[in-house]
Amino acid sequence: MLRFALVGGAGTVVNTAALYVLHRLLGVPLVAASAVAVELAVVHNYVFNSRWTFGTRDLSVRRLGKFNVSMLAGLAVNVLVLWALVRGGVDLLPANLLAIGAALAVNYASSAVWVWGGTQGSSR
């Protein structure tokens, strides 16, 4: 779980940097920018979780698909929390960090149980 959290921390950096560039610098609407930023972080997290957290040798298109599908609930939580917080007056970057935190439990549970089949830390 520690590795998953560390990969998630790096994914948070990817997400936050992408969100800032897309929304603040390029003017992409907030919800679209957040969705793209989350997807970039999802791909990043899949690669690092597959190799480092769950110890798989090969990257699998099927597993990437499952990981991406499992992250949809996290995406929905992330985007909705971000939108609500920003509309409520919270600054973009702190709101984004809170939104990412809200999605963490859903993301870990679906990864550990469905995507990698509960083989946390195994060599599978």
d(CA 78, CA 87): 14
**Other Cβ atoms closer than 10 A to 96:** 25
Q: Cα 60–8–15 angle (5° rounding)?
A: 95
Q: Per-residue pLDDT tens for 50-98?
A: 999 988 888 888 999 999 988 888 888 899 999 999 999 999 999 999 9
- What's the confidence (pLDDT) of residue 122? 43
Average pLDDT over residues 28-50: 94
Interatomic CA distance for residues 18 and 6, integer angstroms:
19
List pLDDT tens digits, range 21-35.
999 999 999 999 999
Q: In whole angstroms, give the CA distance from residue 104 to residue 106.
A: 6
CA-CA distance, 48 to 86, in Å (whole number)?
Answer: 30
* Mean pLDDT of the 94-119 span: 85
Q: Output the pTM of the full model.
A: 0.70
Q: Look at residues 44, 110, 98 and name the one whose alpha carbon lies nearest to residue 73.
A: 110
Tokens standing for 92? 């973009």
What's residue 121's pLDDT?
Answer: 44
| Res. 123 pLDDT band, cuts 50 70 90 | very low
What's the pLDDT band for 110 if we cut at 50, 70, 90? Answer: confident
Cβ-contact 111, 49 below 8 angstroms? yes
